[in-house]
C-alpha cells in the first residue's frame, strides 16, 4: 500500500473535479484498510472513504485529511438452489461487471441497474435504484468495518434503514463504517420488471413482450446511453437532483403552484406523471420535469452544463471546477423553487466544502421553511 501526499482528487472521480487530498491511498485488503486507518489516527486526520468516485463532488480546495479508496475484490457464492442464489461481492468490484456477470448467469434482480458507474460497495449506501429496481430489494446483508473500533460488523437488510435513495450509511451512520462486502439475493426464476415506461416502450417497439434477462440488460444500457453522457468524453456524477417523493398534500400544493405559473398543458403533464409514478401513500414526480418546464436544460456556468438529454445531469465539458458545478446547482434549485415552490435535493455527496460554502450554494431566497 502506497500513501501519497497532495494527491489530486480529479483523477479518481467520474466528475473529474476535485483539489488535492492531504493524503491518499488505495487499499485492496482488510489489513491494508486497517493500516491506513491507523496511519490517519496517528496523524489525527479526518478520513473519507471513497467507493468508486461516482455520485460525488469534491471541493476545489480538496480534502483536508486522508482519502482511502477501497478496492477490495472478491465474488463468492454463499447459497445456490433452484429458486435463489446468494452472492457476496467485494466492495471494490466494479458494479456493472457484477450486473453483467449476473445477466450472463441468468440471475434476476439487478438487470435494471445495469450501466450504473461506480463500485459495488456504493450500491447500498444510497439505495441505488433505476428503471423500477433498487438495491433494497436484493441486498440481504452488508459487511462493514467500524472506523473507530476497527471491528467487523454485519447488518441485515432491515438494519440498513433503506429509504428512497438513502440508507443508514449516508444518514445516521455516515462516516462511521467502511463497507467491505455486500451480499445480494438474486432469483433463478425469471422476474422481469418492465414497469418503467421507457423499458416497456422499448420492448413494445421491438415487438418483444417477453424479453429475457440479457435483452433487458441490453435495453437498459441502450436507454441510459441516450440519456446520460459518455464518461469517456465528459465528467459526470450521475443525476445531481433527487426525484420528489410527495405527500398528497404537497402534490396538491405543487399542482396549484403550476396552475398559477404555467399553462394548462403543463398541469396536465403533471397529472399524468402523478398517475404514472404513484406509490403507496406517496407520489413520485421526476425532478427532470420541473427543471425542464423552468427552461433550464442546457444552462451552463463555466464549463459545467446541464446535459441536453437529461436535465438532472450536470456535466463537466472539460475544465469545470467544483465552483462551476455548485453555482449551476444553486441556479437550478433557486429557479425551480421560485417557479414551482419545490426544493430540489442534491443526489451527489459534497465533500471538502466549508460550512460557509455549503450555506452559500444551498441558499434559496424567500424560503421560509
Active site residues: 165, 239, 347
Q: Quote the DSSP letter at residue 163.
A: B
C-alpha cell at 263: 399553462
**Residue 95, SS3 per DSSP:** helix
Q: Quote the DSSP letter at residue 309.
A: T
Q: What is the Cα–Cα distance from 334 to 52, expressed in whole angstroms?
A: 30
Q: Quick count: other Cβ atoms within 10 Å of Cβ 239? A: 23
Give backbone dihedrals phi and psi of 121, rounded to 5 degrees, phi first. Answer: -65, -20
Torsion angle (degrees, nearest 10) of CA 315, 278, 125, 327: 30
Q: What is the Cα–Cα distance from 155 to 186, expressed in whole angstroms?
A: 18
Q: Which of 306, 328, 126 is nearest to 228 (CA)?
A: 306
Q: Nearest 5 degrees, angle CA 130-CA 278-CA 134?
A: 25
Q: What is the Cα–Cα distance from 159 to 154, expressed in whole angstroms?
A: 9
Q: What is the Cα–Cα distance from 219 to 62, expressed in whole angstroms?
A: 38
Find the largest Cα–Cα distance for the chain. Answer: 63
Return the H-helix or E-strand segment holding 156. Answer: strand 152-156
Q: Quick count: other Cβ atoms within 10 Å of Cβ 9? A: 28
Q: Which of 119, 145, 169, 149 is nearest to 32 (CA)?
A: 145
Q: Which of 325, 251, 261, 271 is nearest to 293 (CA)?
A: 261
**Residue 86, SS3 per DSSP:** strand
CA-to-CA dists, residue 157 to 13, 83, 90, 141, 168, angstroms: 28, 19, 17, 5, 11
Residues facing 154 on adjacent strands? 143
Amino acid at each position: 500500500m502506497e500513501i501519497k501526499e497532495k494527491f489530486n482528487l480529479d483523477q479518481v472521480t467520474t466528475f473529474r473535479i476535485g483539489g488535492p487530498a492531504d493524503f491518499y491511498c488505495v487499499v485492496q485488503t482488510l489489513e491494508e484498510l486497517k493500516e491506513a486507518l491507523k496511519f490517519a489516527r496517528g496523524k489525527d486526520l479526518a478520513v473519507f472513504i471513497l467507493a468508486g468516485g461516482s455520485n460525488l463532488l469534491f471541493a476545489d480546495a480538496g480534502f483536508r485529511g486522508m482519502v482511502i479508496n477501497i478496492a477490495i475484490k472478491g465474488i463468492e457464492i454463499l447459497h445456490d438452489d433452484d429458486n435463489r442464489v446468494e452472492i457476496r461481492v467485494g466492495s471494490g468490484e466494479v458494479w456493472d461487471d457484477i450486473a453483467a456477470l449476473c445477466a450472463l448467469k441468468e440471475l434476476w434482480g439487478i438487470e435494471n441497474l445495469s450501466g450504473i458507474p461506480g463500485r459495488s460497495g456504493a450500491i447500498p449506501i444510497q439505495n441505488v435504484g433505476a428503471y423500477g429496481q433498487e438495491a433494497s430489494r436484493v441486498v440481504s446483508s452488508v459487511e462493514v468495518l467500524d472506523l473507530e473500533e476497527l471491528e467487523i460488523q454485519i447488518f441485515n437488510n432491515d438494519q440498513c434503514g433503506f429509504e428512497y435513495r438513502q440508507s443508514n450509511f449516508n444518514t445516521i451512520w455516515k462516516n462511521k463504517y467502511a463497507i467491505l462486502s455486500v451480499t445480494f439475493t438474486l432469483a433463478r426464476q425469471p422476474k422481469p420488471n418492465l414497469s418503467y415506461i421507457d423499458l416497456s416502450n422499448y420492448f413494445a417497439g421491438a415487438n418483444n413482450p417477453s424479453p429475457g434477462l440479457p435483452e433487458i440488460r441490453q435495453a437498459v444500457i441502450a436507454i441510459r446511453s441516450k440519456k446520460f453522457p459518455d464518461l469517456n468524453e465528459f465528467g459526470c456524477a450521475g443525476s445531481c437532483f433527487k426525484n420528489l417523493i410527495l405527500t398528497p398534500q404537497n402534490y396538491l400544493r405543487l399542482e396549484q403552484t403550476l396552475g398559477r405559473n404555467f399553462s394548462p398543458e403543463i398541469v396536465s403533464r403533471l397529472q399524468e406523471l402523478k398517475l404514472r409514478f404513484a406509490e403507496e401513500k406517496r407520489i413520485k414526480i421526476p425532478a427532470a420535469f420541473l427543471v425542464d418546464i423552468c427552461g433550464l436544460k442546457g444552462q451552463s456556468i463555466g464549463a459545467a452544463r446541464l446535459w441536453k438529454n437529461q436535465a438532472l445531469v450536470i456535466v463537466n465539458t472539460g475544465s469545470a471546477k467544483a465552483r462551476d458545478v455548485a453555482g449551476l446547482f444553486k441556479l437550478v434549485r433557486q429557479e425551480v423553487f421560485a417557479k414551482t415552490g419545490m426544493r430540489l435535493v442534491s443526489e451527489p455527496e459534497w465533500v471538502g466544502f466549508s460550512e460557509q460554502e455549503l450555506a452559500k450554494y444551498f441558499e434559496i431566497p424567500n424560503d421560509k421553511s
